A and B are shown apart, each in its own frame.
Chain A
């Protein structure tokens, strides 16, 4: 299972953090610091897998954001690259040509999409279309006049 999923920028700003196991606040901060140090120090065309303590770290860079996941020993690293890629595709479809600003200003939506795709560190839904359909339905349920008015004009 995936232990955590982090999104951070090249400048070391955290954009999203999802923890699939229980960590104390101190531990979380340490993991975030270590991941940033580990990943940001890597050369451009290097291997996407790093061993860190007893976890396998899989990371991928998309434009200005690093997607970083911590896996356990029995997990398939190559598949995790696909998982990260699928998440980016979902964000892209949902926001329409997603960029980092979308994730910053609509971080709660990014979390909701993640919750439709992964749960408990495992893949929940393998079909891209199904995830997007459920997001649409949930959004419709939520939408009120108020929300509609305050959506940014990006």
Chain B
């Protein structure tokens, strides 16, 4: 057993160890020696040993065997041993250890000790690691000490009481009277402790808060004393008298003045005085000003004072010290909702802070800039934000991107600007945007119908430059698929057109399909786009067929399924291909951030299996009925799969199908509804083109039900055949289409075709209906769409 080495020598030995292994060896030897010493009875070096153990503990080595020694040392009569014992207790014991309960009795005895330093040790330890039980046991003692005559003890007791209240909330009531009394002390330490205690009590209990409102005049008095008084060497920090106490009093005033007119009035003058008189050249002055500003903005202050506060924040923003600017931005963030205009005045400085080197400042500036975007400054702000996006640190990128999207959505001055902005973000930070950006952007593009040409040109250019940004590639593929014909036409007003051939376009899509960098979703987009192009291009349909059939044996199940179905479209259902792959109608957005789920291409795919199944089960009936079935599938529906596209891929379509092939007993299926479409309601002509007239009349069946009758007639010289109507309604409205009375319109209006549509509008939304008319006349197919916004008789 090596002789006990004094603390410093052990430290020196540990520090001189050259390797971790050597250090561990030294420490193990020392710990063994210490353990042996602990087992011995009282000797002079006990405090040394414990101190050594605490050092070892700080280096990160286990020291739990010292816990009992701490307990023993605390109980020792010698002050030196008590001191180290309590230190050990604070370091090794916490409320989760069982040994901590053992010291409760020692603490209790020491709290009543004659020597104030022993008392203070006990108070300090209790405030550091006192558990709830210990606090409950010793609370009365602390209360007694709060009323002692010794300020040294009073200030410590006050903070100990704060800890007790934090641990056991109910004991707050116990300390309230003593806390009140402490406010009349002169000693700053005691005052400070009292203010902290009162703050804690008021935060926890609203009734206590009410009671302490009466102290506002006293607090104002104390504060005035601090602000006006001359130099006091004890408490002066760079010209401010006791800033710690000032800040705590301001914080307490904030809590007391919140939501209370009277209290706020009482402190108005004081706050104005502090705000104007405090010297703001040093950090300490700014700390007091900061707390003052927070208080002014939180209580019911008068407007002049608020303006003063915001001006102080404005001054902070121009300060050279980064800390002050950071603080200013945090505070401005809090009030940007309420005092928007005041903050707008400082927009320039805030935007400049976006370029600051410091990451914390950048983050705050980003938050604040996004909050300051408004309709009037959107263009200039967006320029700055996009610049920021290209150079911002990685952890801020997704936040910046989503913030830019939100701002663009709310304040976009024009659709073209909106699309440009989103494209810009996708090219710079495409990897960090959220998933719903792709459907949102697609929806935006479909809505801006006059910009289709411009958009597809831009996207094509972006695609051939870079195929790594998945979101951008997905949107580009979708657009090329949809508007490929516009791209190939090679003319565009808004931007310089690209002269592309069909081969170029197909090459680009194939590159995406084959690239390793494309995610499975992106490849799905590309495949669907390739397929869609088969109806929009003329020469290279064979190439598309070969691409599609190659992917029929792809390992990726998703791609394989798509390829197989598209193949089927080519082979068996070629006559349907045009209808299936035609342009998407405008999507109605349900809500901001509404995720339409996967790409629009999926809907085409989803229809396929349903249609193929339906068509197969109905193959026996003649072709015209098949077209009818298509009509019912696309036009009739129970439930809408996508908003505004009335699709039915499910069984409800079937009864109507069989009904229609049976050619008649629909009425039984739909049961209880008016069989004849003849209604007393007026008929309104909703469509008149090329000699085809469509009139509409409707009749209310119930509170939410409506029967609409569409009547078509042909005033041309030639007959019309294969006349079909398809209808789409808003999402919450249910639609049943009965079979039409026929599908041919003889010339000169000799006969009419009527179609009844049953609508159910349970949510009473604004009823709109889009009807698509398609027919064949003189060997050529016609198609048109009409939107009905008003229904006569409604």
Residues of A within 8 A of B (CB): 14-17, 19-20, 22-24, 29, 43, 45-51, 74, 76-79, 81-83, 86, 104-105, 107-108, 111-112, 115, 119-120, 122-127, 129-130, 134, 137-138, 141-142, 144, 146-147, 150, 152
Contacts of A130 in B (CB 8 A): 189, 234
Q: From B156, B251, B360, give the contact of A74 (CB < 8 A).
A: B251
B83 closest partner in A (C-beta): A142
Interface residues of B in 277-316 (CB under 8 A from A): 283-284, 286-287, 290-291
Q: B444-467, CB under 8 A of A: which get 1 and which 0?
A: 000000000000000000000000
Pairwise interchain contact A126-B242, C-beta atoms closer than 8 A: yes
B58 closest partner in A (C-beta): A14
Q: From A15, A74, A86, A111, give the contact of B87 (CB < 8 A).
A: A111
The segment from B157-165, B508-516, B613-621, B779-787 that touches chain A is B157-165
Pairwise interchain contact B8-A142, C-beta atoms closer than 8 A: no
How far is it, in angstroms, between the C-alpha of A74 and the C-alpha of B199 when the chains are bound?
12
Pairwise interchain contact B188-A126, C-beta atoms closer than 8 A: yes
Distance in Å: Cβ of B92 to nearest Cβ of chain A: 10
Pairwise interchain contact B247-A108, C-beta atoms closer than 8 A: no
Distance in Å: Cβ of A1 to nearest Cβ of chain B: 8
Pairwise interchain contact A119-B127, C-beta atoms closer than 8 A: yes
Pairwise interchain contact B287-A125, C-beta atoms closer than 8 A: no
The segment from B320-328, B378-386, B430-438, B662-670 that touches chain A is B320-328
Q: A108-B51, A137-B117 are in contact. Are A81 and B8 (CB under 8 A)?
A: no
Pairwise interchain contact B95-A22, C-beta atoms closer than 8 A: yes
Q: From B80, B83, B247, give the contact of A144 (CB < 8 A).
A: B80
Q: Does B574 contact A (CB under 8 A)?
A: no
Q: From B44, B117, B155, give the contact of A138 (CB < 8 A).
A: B117
Distance in Å: Cβ of A66 to nearest Cβ of chain B: 16
Q: From A78, A111, A141, A144, give the contact of B327 (CB < 8 A).
A: A78
Pairwise interchain contact B291-A76, C-beta atoms closer than 8 A: yes
Q: From B11, B60, B94, B117, give the contact of A22 (CB < 8 A).
A: B94
Q: Which of B60, B128, B245 has the most CB of A within 10 A?
A: B128
Q: Does B562 contact A (CB under 8 A)?
A: no
Contacts of B363 in A (CB 8 A): 51
Pairwise interchain contact A81-B44, C-beta atoms closer than 8 A: no
Q: B60-87, CB under 8 A of A: which get 1 and which 0?
A: 1000000000000000000110011001
How far is it, in angstroms, between the C-alpha of A137 and the C-alpha of B54 when the chains are bound?
24
Distance in Å: Cβ of B271 to nearest Cβ of chain A: 16
Contacts of A123 in B (CB 8 A): 192, 244
Q: A107-B58, A150-B6 are in contact. Are A47 and B87 (CB under 8 A)?
A: no
Q: B736-766, CB under 8 A of A: which get 1 and which 0?
A: 0000000000000000000000000000000
Contacts of A115 in B (CB 8 A): 124
Q: From B54, B59, B237, give the contact of A82 (CB < 8 A).
A: B237
Q: B176-204, CB under 8 A of A: which get 1 and which 0?
A: 00000000000011001100100000000
How far is it, in angstroms, between the C-alpha of A49 and the C-alpha of B55 when the chains are bound?
30
How far is it, in angstroms, between the C-alpha of A49 and the C-alpha of B360 when the chains are bound?
7
Q: A24-B96, A146-B44 are in contact. Are A46 and B156 (CB under 8 A)?
A: no
Pairwise interchain contact A104-B11, C-beta atoms closer than 8 A: yes
How far is it, in angstroms, between the C-alpha of A111 and the C-alpha of B83 when the chains are bound?
11
B284 closest partner in A (C-beta): A82
Q: A112-B83, A112-B87, A119-B124 are in contact. Are A49 and B326 (CB under 8 A)?
A: yes
Interface of A: prevailing SS: mixed
B50 closest partner in A (C-beta): A108
Q: From A15, A79, A111, A142, give the contact of B247 (CB < 8 A).
A: A79
Q: Does B591 contact A (CB under 8 A)?
A: no
Pairwise interchain contact B290-A78, C-beta atoms closer than 8 A: yes
Q: Does B538 contact A (CB under 8 A)?
A: no
Q: Does B358 contact A (CB under 8 A)?
A: yes
Q: From B54, B163, B323, give the contact of A48 (CB < 8 A).
A: B323
CB pairs A–B below 8 angstroms (17 shown)? A19-B94, A22-B94, A43-B357, A47-B322, A48-B323, A105-B8, A105-B11, A107-B58, A119-B156, A122-B159, A122-B193, A126-B245, A127-B189, A130-B234, A141-B79, A142-B79, A144-B80
Distance in Å: Cβ of A22 to nearest Cβ of chain B: 5
Q: Does B152 contact A (CB under 8 A)?
A: yes
Distance in Å: Cβ of B762 to nearest Cβ of chain A: 45
How far is it, in angstroms, between the C-alpha of A51 and the C-alpha of B399 when the chains are bound?
16
Q: A115-B124, A126-B242, A144-B80 are in contact. Are A22 and B129 (CB under 8 A)?
A: yes
19 additional A-B pairs beyond A17-B58, A78-B323, beta carbons within 8 Å, are: A15-B58, A19-B94, A29-B60, A45-B322, A46-B357, A47-B322, A49-B323, A50-B360, A79-B287, A79-B291, A104-B11, A108-B51, A119-B127, A122-B159, A126-B235, A126-B245, A127-B188, A146-B44, A150-B7
Contacts of B361 in A (CB 8 A): 47
Distance in Å: Cβ of A44 to nearest Cβ of chain B: 11
Q: Does B243 contact A (CB under 8 A)?
A: yes
Q: Does B19 contact A (CB under 8 A)?
A: no
Distance in Å: Cβ of B96 to nearest Cβ of chain A: 7
A21 closest partner in B (C-beta): B166
Distance in Å: Cβ of B353 to nearest Cβ of chain A: 11
How far is it, in angstroms, between the C-alpha of A120 and the C-alpha of B129 when the chains are bound?
9
How far is it, in angstroms, between the C-alpha of A107 and the C-alpha of B123 when the chains are bound?
21
How far is it, in angstroms, between the C-alpha of A82 and the C-alpha of B127 when the chains are bound?
23
Contacts of A134 in B (CB 8 A): 117, 120, 152
Q: B204-244, CB under 8 A of A: which get 1 and which 0?
A: 00000000000000000000000000000111010000111
How far is it, in angstroms, between the C-alpha of A16 and the C-alpha of B54 when the chains are bound?
11
Contacts of A146 in B (CB 8 A): 44
A14 closest partner in B (C-beta): B58
A48 closest partner in B (C-beta): B323
Q: Does B359 contact A (CB under 8 A)?
A: yes
Q: A81-B323, A105-B11, A108-B51 are in contact. Are A47 and B83 (CB under 8 A)?
A: no
Q: Does B40 contact A (CB under 8 A)?
A: no
Distance in Å: Cβ of B274 to nearest Cβ of chain A: 14
Q: A43-B357, A49-B323, A130-B234 are in contact. Are A22 and B291 (CB under 8 A)?
A: no
Q: Which 5 A/B pairs are nearest by Cβ-Cβ distance?
A: A78-B287, A79-B287, A120-B127, A47-B360, A119-B159
Pairwise interchain contact B80-A142, C-beta atoms closer than 8 A: yes
Q: Which of B15, B94, B286 has the most CB of A within 10 A?
A: B94
Q: B35-60, CB under 8 A of A: which get 1 and which 0?
A: 00000000010000001001100111
Pairwise interchain contact A147-B234, C-beta atoms closer than 8 A: no
How far is it, in angstroms, between the C-alpha of A146 and the C-alpha of B47 when the chains are bound?
11
Q: Does B414 contact A (CB under 8 A)?
A: no
Contacts of B622 in A (CB 8 A): none
Distance in Å: Cβ of A21 to nearest Cβ of chain B: 9
How far is it, in angstroms, between the C-alpha of A74 and the C-alpha of B290 when the chains are bound?
12
How far is it, in angstroms, between the C-alpha of A120 and the C-alpha of B156 when the chains are bound?
10
Q: Does B376 contact A (CB under 8 A)?
A: no
Pairwise interchain contact A79-B243, C-beta atoms closer than 8 A: yes
Distance in Å: Cβ of B255 to nearest Cβ of chain A: 9
Pairwise interchain contact B283-A138, C-beta atoms closer than 8 A: no
Pairwise interchain contact A51-B360, C-beta atoms closer than 8 A: yes
Contacts of B237 in A (CB 8 A): 82, 86
Q: A119-B124, A150-B8 are in contact. Are A76 and B287 (CB under 8 A)?
A: yes
Contacts of A147 in B (CB 8 A): 80
How far is it, in angstroms, between the C-alpha of A51 and the C-alpha of B251 when the chains are bound?
21
Contacts of A122 in B (CB 8 A): 159, 162, 193, 196
